[in-house]
Every structure is written in C-alpha cells, then in structure tokens.
Chains A and B, each alone.
Chain A
Amino acid sequence: MDLISEDKINSMSSTEKLRFLLDGVKSGNIVILEGGLTTEEQMQLIELTMTEVDDDFPGIELNGYPSKRSFFNLRKKKTRLTMIGPAKMMRTIKKDKDLISTVVSAV
C-alpha cells in the first residue's frame, strides 16, 4: 500500500499524476492520496484505465470522499482523500460520506 503525500502529487502534472497512479495500481499496489483527486481527474483516470483493461487487468476500484468548498474561497472546491486499487484485489463493502469499508484480498 502506498500513501502518497499531497506535496508529491501536487508536484506532478496531470498526465504524470495519472500515469503514476495507474502504474502503481497495475503493479498490485493500493494507492492512497492525501488531498485526493478532483472528479475531473478521476474521470480522466477512468478513461486511461479503460485503454489498458485486458484479460489480466480488469480495471480499478476507486473510492474517495467528496470534495468540500473551502470557507474563504467559495468557488474553489477542496478535494479530500482518494483511494485506488486493482479491481482484482479490492472490493468496496460500504461507502458513505464519512466511511469507506473495503475488502482487500491476495490475487
């Protein structure tokens, strides 16, 4: 399991970020991002994932908490944690606004 700091993620370009995440997940890691991805980035990640789905890699399990509007900047949404894992290994059991339960199994 990789826990990635917000600073590391913010230092990457959008393409680098998605490539980094997908490579990590494809090599069997569960990646947790401090700060998380925006919903636009999550959609791009789904799109990129779909180009790489094959018999051995069925895709990803994606989870996260919805973004929040920051108090001082009402127009900007603050993203929170995002968790990405291989769909073969990870399965979401329960999810609500403040709790995500998953089961992780060996391939």
Chain B
Amino acid sequence: MKQRKKRKGVLERLRRIFFFRKAPAKIGLYGPPNAGKTTLANRIIHTFVDENEDIGTSTDIPHETRRAVRKGGVLIDLKAKALQNSYIKTATNSSSDSDPKPREKKSKLKLDIVDTPGLATKIDFHDFLAFGLDEVEAKKRAKEATEGVIEAIKWLEDIDGVVLLMDATEDPYTQTNIVIIGNLEARSIPVIIAANKIDLAEASPQRIADAFPQHTVIAISALKGEHMDDLYEEMARRFK
C-alpha cells in the first residue's frame, strides 16, 4: 500500500515536470456593443500572430459578434516588437543616428484572447432594420444577440483579466459599464479600461478617466493602431 502511494507520488512529480505548464491567462475583451472589441482583437492578432488572420468581423451593425471567440496562445512579445519597430524606423529614416535608442522592453506574456459579444440590457430587433436587415434576419440577429450576452456573462467565470473597451466618443457613465466594472471588482479580476476611437474628433478619453478614477485608462484607436504599445505594456504588467 505504502509502495503504491510512493509510486503514485513519483508519477505525479514526473507528470508535473514533463506535462504541467502554467496555462496562459484568459483575457476577455468586454464592453458594450460597437465599442471596438473585435477590432482590438484583430489588431492584437495582426500584431503578434498573423497579419492576415482575423478573429472576427467588425461592422457598424451592433451585435456583429454574437458568440465568444477564443484565440489561444497569443504571445505578447514587447521586446521583439520594439526591435521590429526600431528596424522599420531605421530603414525608413536615414537620420536615425540622432534618434534616441528604442526603449528596452522585457515583457513577454502568453495569453488567450477572448472576444466576447457586447453586453446590453436591451436588444430590439427594430434597431437592426435601420441597418438594412429584413425583419426575419433582424429577429434572428436579435435572438442570437441575447444568447451572446448570456455567453459573455458566463465567460466571466473563466476569465483571468479583462480589457474593458469604451467608446471615447460616448458618455462612459452607463449602467452597463458600471455593472461590468462592479462585477470585475467583486470577483477581483484585474481590469484595464481602453478608451477606444480616439482617432475621432469628438473623442474624450479624459471623460472616461474622470468617470472611473480607480482604474487605469489607456486611450487607444484599435482601428488606426494608435497608442497600442501603451496598452500592450499595461497588459503585460497587469496580466503577468
């Protein structure tokens, strides 16, 4: 009996040595519909995985993403990215001798990115008719969108960190944003707020920072790729 227990202990140790790996953190991209979650997910995949691969389709129609999509094993390698950027800069700028040295970035982090459907308290099929969908299609989309909201909520059970996207052109003080943040705080899930769409003239990321002063807010444009390095650095720091 004792022998069997000992053998089991050795096997367990071997299993841990050869097979046990720390699973990559699952990072959820959350937010209301049309905040730019899929655009950000695609941007991350293009930057660190494959420039031709998309995690989903982003359009102006709300609830385009109606199923959570997980992309596993995304390696956020800031050092490699910094070197690549510096190489591109050197190749395109002959007076690079006068430029300061690129900042050394040591962070490397493997993540699973989960693009979730937009969270909402109401889904009216009539809203989709305005985007040219016929009634049958609009009702189908509305039904799928409700299932998507439930799926996004269920995913909170399995998520290790969240990038919460907010549209910087809109009022951030909505009940949906408050409910998401409250739930993340209650579950002690680390969160970064990404104030998206700063490429638009009416964007005000400061309004988001003022509304949620207890959280880190990074102003980005996922579509244009503005300030993405700031977000990646914060992700590497918070989700390590």
Give chain A's interface residues, CB within 8 Å of chain B.
Answer: 38-40, 42-43, 46-47, 49-51, 53, 55, 58-64, 66-67, 87-88, 92, 95-97
Contacts A62-B175, A95-B174 given: A87-B121 contact, CB under 8 Å? yes
A39 to B120, CA, bound (A): 14
Main secondary structure of the interface of B (DSSP, over half): helix
Question: Quick check: A60 and B153 within 8 Å, CB to CB?
Answer: no
Are A95 and B173 in contact, CB atoms less than 8 angstroms apart? yes
Binds A, one of B84-92, B105-113, B176-184, B223-231: B176-184
Q: Please tell me if the beta carbons of A46 and B186 are within 8 angstroms of each other in the complex.
A: no
Q: Are A40 and B175 in contact (CB under 8 A)?
A: no
Complex Cα gap A49–B124 (Å): 13
How many A-B Cβ pairs are below 8 Å?
79
Task: Give the bracket for the number of chain B residues in contact with chain A.
Answer: 20 to 34
| A58/B123 contact (C-beta < 8 A), A39-B186, A40-B186, A46-B153 known | yes
Among all A-B residue pairs, the 8 with the closest Cβ atoms: A39-B182, A59-B122, A87-B122, A58-B124, A50-B146, A42-B179, A53-B146, A50-B149
Q: List residues of chain A with CB within 8 A of the CB of B156.
A: 43
B183 and A39 form a contact (CB under 8 A): yes
Residues of A within 8 A of B185 (CB): 39
